[in-house]
């Protein structure tokens, strides 16, 4: 596979074409996940709190502050994580160590899978609290659009992060297949050769030591000399 290195990246030292990088499915999913996380975060921060005739602000999700805090947390951390992994994807080809590439891919698998689960919880939590919100709690329907946007884009984020998890697993499996017979020699050790070489120019010297069964030397019939008188 010319031009392909371990874990689905280009060979070490190769430069990444920005256009090619932008067209990759993983890059598209990463950008969408970044946008969806921004929408979830911004919707709750900007319009997710309303005042009910007092200076105190209440969360639009059934006045449950935990719902708003959870949505802000998942959206903000997801936004930062997308930025981090976006840079990691772009610099992945410059990582020379196969072990470091493997660690980066495993980190992406773990985080993407975990954040898929957190966004699933966010969708269920926000939708449940929104269904319990009455019209009396939202005068003039304040914050309703922001609440619906946070719920909808939490659902879209589940799809994006699940897709990123699948892509990371595929990258890991590809890297495992390509380095299966080479990683044990990455430390500079010479490959072991379990069988002797059959090359025409080479000579193979085999030494076989046979050991006689016990008591074979004494098991022969004794010979007697007839005395001469």
In tens, the pLDDT along 149-192 reads 999 999 999 999 999 999 999 989 887 765 543 444 344 444 45
Specify if 216 maps to a domain. Answer: no
Specify if 10 maps to a domain. Answer: no
pLDDT, residue 211, reads 53
Total domains in the chain come to 1
pLDDT, residue 177, reads 66
pLDDT, residue 182, reads 45
Specify if 53 maps to a domain. Answer: yes
What is the DSSP code (8-state) at residue 212? Answer: P
For the record, the structure tokens of 73 come out as: 């947390």
Specify if 167 maps to a domain. Answer: yes
pTM of the model: 0.70
**Boundaries of domain holding 59:** 31-176
pLDDT, residue 37, reads 96
Specify if 50 maps to a domain. Answer: yes
Residues of the chain with pLDDT under 50: 1-5, 10, 12-13, 180-191, 202-208, 210, 214-217, 219
pLDDT, residue 185, reads 37
Please state, in angstroms and rounded to a whole number, the distance separating the CA atoms of residues 207 and 61.
Answer: 83
pLDDT, residue 183, reads 42
Show Cβ contacts of residue 15 under 8 Å, excluding neighbours closer than 6 positions: 93
Specify if 65 maps to a domain. Answer: yes
pLDDT, residue 129, reads 94
Cα 121 to chain centroid, rounded: 20
Residue 59 β-bridge partners: 49
Specify if 123 maps to a domain. Answer: yes
10 Å Cβ neighbour count for 193?
7
Specify if 181 maps to a domain. Answer: no
């Amino acid at each position: 596979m010319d031009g392909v290195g371990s874990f689905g990246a280009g060979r070490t030292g190769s430069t990444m074409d920005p256009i090619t990088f932008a067209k990759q499915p993983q890059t598209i999913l990463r950008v969408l996940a970044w946008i969806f996380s921004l929408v979830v975060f911004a919707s709750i921060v900007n319009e997710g709190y309303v005042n009910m005739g007092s200076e105190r602000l209440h969360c639009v999700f059934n006045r449950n502050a935990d719902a708003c805090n959870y949505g802000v947390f998942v959206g903000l951390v997801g936004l930062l994580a997308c930025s981090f992994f976006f840079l990691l994807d772009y610099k992945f080809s410059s990582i020379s160590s196969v072990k470091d590439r493997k660690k980066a891919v495993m980190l992406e698998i773990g985080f993407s899978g975990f954040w898929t689960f957190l966004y699933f919880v966010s969708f269920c939590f926000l939708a449940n609290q929104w269904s319990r919100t009455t019209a009396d709690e939202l005068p003039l329907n304040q914050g309703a659009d922001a609440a619906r946007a946070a719920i909808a884009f939490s659902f879209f984020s589940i799809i994006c992060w699940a897709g990123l998890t699948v892509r990371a697993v595929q990258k890991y499996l590809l890297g495992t297949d390509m380095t299966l017979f080479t990683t044990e020699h990455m430390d500079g050790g010479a490959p072991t050769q379990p069988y002797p070489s059959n090359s025409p120019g080479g000579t193979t010297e085999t030494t076989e030591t046979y050991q006689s069964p016990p008591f074979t030397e004494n098991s022969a019939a004794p010979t007697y000399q007839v005395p001469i008188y």
